[in-house]
Amino acid sequence: MVSGIRFESVSVAYGGQTVLDSLDLAVEPGEVMALLGPSGSGKTTALRAVAGFVRPASGRVLIGGRDVTRLPPHRRGVGMVVQQYALFPHMRVAENVAFGLRARKSVPKSGIPARVAEALEMTGMGGYAQRYPRELSGGQQQRVAIARALAIRPDVLLLDEPLSALDAQLRSGMLAELARLHRELPDVSLLYVTHDQVEALTLADRIAVMDRARLQDCGTPQELYRTPRTRFTASFVGNANLLPVTVGRGGVVLEGLALAVDTGPAAPGARATLCVRPHLLGLGDGPNALRGKVAEVQWRGSTHRLYVDVGGHRVKADVPELRQVPGPGTEVTLHFEPRDAVLLSAEVGDD
């Protein structure tokens, strides 16, 4: 079956405090949606509302068009993987993977071994069926946890920070593995909770950005990166310079300096925030020149990160590795193309 997930004004409260505030979000069938946001923003709560471990105070959760809000977890067709694997230590790998199937009784007993073998093959763990979890590395344990979630052939797969317990190198390998798995299961919708923007940008078809119990923004990785709608998205997805400006005609004014950018529907005279990505600032003269003094320079391998004080604002610029590094106090000019800046309606400090 091909199933999407739909949140309709889902709110969750703990002890009178709203931790998920009227979430409206649709994950299309077969889509990978990342829920991205800082710790405590409500991501796990949203996931648990889909799994059935949290009862919303109001709103509905639909899977494949069916209202599952009041269904118990095992009747939702949902597989879930959490950060800490949660394997049973006294059971072998095969028994761990079979556990959900046995509990559900959706597959006849005689069919279970084949299902377990299939799930272990998919996660590259075919040769480990008889091991105990303690005999596996962290990455292997997480593969088993994924196999266990897949064994029930879920319509939707929920992943809650599945890579957070792994070291950086293993993480990037597992990210590629998850992308491959999803290609093999194109009908399964994935909802992937993470606070790591690299994971979200790498894996997701779309990213839902959460902050303080609310959905802030939702779009493809490219949309959120190139044209964030909010200051929060701009600073949480990628790096950003956020500069307080006043809207003028055909551009904006930064501390008396006129800059040519697309102002869209913004009204002249309004206060706003100009977002420019550090790697889109060039060193030297050009359009939209910003003159300032170097405060600090960091070498980052193939690039240098310059911190430049421009009219009282510290501007970050990532430029290709420099032969001659300007020392602190040196006057430099940065510039950017009008099309490379995004104007955000809220003022710096507004939220």
The least distance separating ligand ADP from the CB of residue 39, rounded to whole angstroms, comes to 4
**Taking CB under 6 A as the rule, does residue 53 contact ligand ADP?**
no
Q: Does 230 bind ligand ADP (CB under 6 A)?
A: no
Distances (CA, A) of 115 to 10, 81, 88, 118, 316: 34, 18, 19, 5, 53
Name the minimum Å distance from CB 86 to ligand ADP.
16
List the one residue out of 18, 20, 6, 141 whose CA is nearest residue 82: 141
Estimate the crossing angle of helix 112-122 against helix 138-151, to 10 degrees.
130
Least Å distance between CB 155 and ligand ADP? 23
Q: Which of 3, 45, 197, 241 binds ligand ADP (CB under 6 A)?
A: 45
Residue 43 contacts ligand ADP per CB under 6 A:
yes
- Number of shown-chain residues binding ligand ADP (CB under 6 A): 10
Nearer to ligand ADP, 42 or 56 (CB): 42
- Tokens standing for residue 200: 């979200």
- Other C-beta atoms closer than 10 Å to the C-beta of 111 total 11
CB nearer to ligand ADP: give 48 or 304. 48
The yes or no reply on residue 11 touching ligand ADP (CB under 6 A) is no
Asked if 40 is part of the footprint of ligand ADP (rule: CB under 6 A), the reply reads yes
CB of 14 to ligand ADP, least distance (A): 3
How far is it, in rounded angstroms, from Cα 260 to Cα 297? 27
CA distance 15 to 176: 40
Q: How far is CA 151 from CA 77, 117, 280, 348, in A?
A: 11, 9, 46, 48
Q: Specify the pairing of strand 313-320 against strand 303-310.
A: antiparallel
Q: Measured from the CB atom, is 11 or 41 closer to ligand ADP?
A: 41
* Shortest Å, Cβ 10 to ligand ADP: 12
Task: Please report, as residue ranges, which positions from 161 to 180 form the binding site for ligand ADP (by CB under 6 A).
Answer: none
Residue number with CB closer to ligand ADP (11 or 45): 45
Cβ at position 143, least distance to ligand ADP in Å:
23
Binding site for ligand ADP (CB under 6 A): 14, 19, 37, 39-45
